[in-house]
Amino acid sequence: VEETLVLVKPDGVARSLTGEILRRIEAKGYSLVDIRLVQPERDLLAAHYAEHEGKPFYEPLVEFMMSGPVVAIRVAGDRVIEGFRSLAGTTDPTSAAPGTIRGDLGRDWGLPVQQNLVHGSDSPESAQRELSLWFA
């Protein structure tokens, strides 16, 4: 079965939304395979976000992701990569659809990076790469 990497980002952990996010993943019918609380270092985030290096939001993104603990979750299920991205909603929480994690629980805080609560791998290749980084 397919697997994806979900991260509850530092804003989600700080706002005590980890349980709510896990609840939505489980309610959808996906399985939690592994979970850990991580204080990520720059090297891990540089590898994780390599595709965004050089973009204006890259440095604020890495700083934000180092600002507190992150919950990393290995999630399994048929078409879970697409399915979790659908649960998460679009990147910008202000315009993400109600019913999604970002749309229901997120908002803009006037900061240089979008604090949008969760990450989900965007392809099978990304999922394998990211799972091997966070669950080495």
Binding piece for ligand GTP, criterion CB under 6 A, among 17-25, 30-38, 74-82, 115-123 = 115-123
Q: Binding string, 89-108, against ligand GTP, x = CB under 6 A?
A: --x-----------------
> Whole-number minimum distance, CB 59 to ligand GTP, in Å?
11
Name the token pair of 107.
């908002």
User: How far apart (Å, rounded) are the C-alpha atoms in residues 116 and 10?
Assistant: 10
Q: Check: CB of residue 101 under 8 Å from CB of residue 117.
A: yes
> Whole-number minimum distance, CB 40 to ligand GTP, in Å?
13
Secondary structure letter of residue 85 according to DSSP: H
Structure-token match 């440095």, residue found: 59
For 47, residues 6+ apart whose C-beta sits below 8 A from its C-beta are 133
119 touching ligand GTP, by CB under 6 A: yes
Given the rule CB under 6 A, which residues bind ligand GTP?
57, 61, 91, 112-114, 116, 119-120, 122
Catalytic residues: 119
Binding site for Mg ion (CB under 5 A): 122
